[in-house]
Chain A
Amino acid sequence: MLLVAAPALLPVFSLTLLGKFICFAIVAVGIGLAWGRGGMLTLGQGVFFGLGAYIMAMHMKLADAALFGGSGVPDFMLLYGSGTVPGWWEPFRSPVVTVLAVVLVPGLVALVLGLAIFKRRVKGAYFAILSQALAAAFAVLLIGQQATTGGSNGLSGFRSFFGLDLADPANKRMLYLAAAVLLLAVVAASRQLVHSRFGELLVAVRDQEERVRFLGYDPATVKTAVYVLAAVMAGMAGALFVPLVGIISPADVGVTPSIAFLIGVAIGGRATILGPVLGALGVAIAQTSLASTFPSFWVYFQGLLFVLVIGFLPGGLASLPAVLGKLRRRRRSAGSGTASGPAGTPAASGSIPKEIPL
Chain B
Amino acid sequence: MNPIRFLLRLSLFCLLSVNPALADETCQSPYLPKITGQEDFIYVWTLGVEGLGDGSDKLVTVGANPAHSDYGKVVSSVSVVGRHEAHHAGFTDDRRYLWAGGLDDNVIYVFDVATDPAKPKVVRTIRDFATSSGGVAGPHTFYALPGRMLITGLSNTKDGGGRTGIVEYSNDGKFVRTNWMPDKAPYGYDARVNADLNRMLTSSFTGHKNYMRSLPDLMKDPAAMKNFGNTMVLWDFHARKPLQTFDVPGAPLEIRWALQPRNHYAFTAAALTGKLWGVFRKDDGTFEAVDLGPVGDPASPPLPVDISLSADDRFLFVDSFMDGKVRVYDVSNPRKPRQVHERQIGKQVNMVSQSWDGKRVYFTSSLLANWDKTGADDEQFLKAFAWNGTTLTPAFAIDFTKEKLGRPHIMDLGLARPQVARSRTMRSSARVDAASP
The answer to whether A and B come from one shared complex is: no
B contacts, CB < 8 Å to A: none
A contacts, CB < 8 Å to B: none
